[in-house]
Amino acid sequence: MSLPILQVDAFASRPFAGNPAAVCLLPDERDAAWMQDVAREMNLAETAFLHPRPDGWGLRWFTPTTEVDLCGHATLASAHVLWETGRLAVEDTARFHTKSGLLTAVRRGDWIELDFPATPDESVDPPAALLESLSALPRYVGRSRFDYLVELDGEEVVQSLRPDFGLLTTLGGRGVIVTSRSADPAWDFVSRFFAPAAGVDEDPVTGSAHCCLAPFWSRRLQKTTFLARQISARGGEIKVELRGDRVGLGGQAVTVLQAELFA
**DSSP letters along 216-235, please?**
HHHHHHS-SEEEEEE-SSS-
Q: Which helix (H) or strand (E) holds 40?
A: helix 32-42
pLDDT tens string 102-129: 999 999 999 999 999 999 999 999 999 9
* Residue 1: predicted pLDDT: 78
| Number of structural domains in the chain | 2
Rg (CA), the chain: 18
pTM of the model: 0.95
Residue 8 sits in the same domain as residue 113: yes
Residue 216 sits in the same domain as residue 153: yes
Distance of CA 54 to the CA centre of its chain: 26
Q: Which domain holds residue 166?
A: 122-243
Identify whether 46 is a catalytic site residue. yes
Indicate the Cα dihedral angle 115, 140, 19, 251, nearest 10°: 40
Residue 171 sits in the same domain as residue 159: yes
Residue 93 sits in the same domain as residue 49: yes
Residue 113 sits in the same domain as residue 138: no
Which residue among the candidates 46, 155, 202, 237 is catalytic per the annotation? 46
pLDDT tens string 64-90: 999 999 999 999 999 999 999 999 999
* Residue 43: predicted pLDDT: 96
Residue 27 sits in the same domain as residue 127: no
Residue 153 sits in the same domain as residue 210: yes
* Residue 260: predicted pLDDT: 97
Instruction: Say how far apart CA 38 and CA 64 lie, in whole Å.
Output: 8
Query: Which residues of the chain are modeled with pLDDT < 70?
Result: none
Instruction: Say how far apart CA 192 and CA 115 lie, in whole Å.
Output: 21
Residue 15 sits in the same domain as residue 51: yes
SS3 133: helix
Residue 141 sits in the same domain as residue 107: no
Residue 182 sits in the same domain as residue 257: no
Instruction: Say how far apart CA 232 and CA 202 lie, in whole Å.
Output: 8
Residue 108 sits in the same domain as residue 205: no
Instruction: Say how far apart CA 258 and CA 83 lie, in whole Å.
Output: 15
Percent of the chain residues past pLDDT 70, beyond the cut: 100
* Residue 246: predicted pLDDT: 98
Letter for the amino acid at 136? A
**CATH number, domain with residue 9:** 3.10.310.10
Report whether 216 contacts 188 (CB < 8 A): no
Query: Nearest Cα to 191, choosing from 224, 154, 231, 152?
Result: 231
Residue 212 sits in the same domain as residue 234: yes
Q: What share of the chain is helix, strand, coil (3-state, %, to 5)?
A: 20, 45, 35
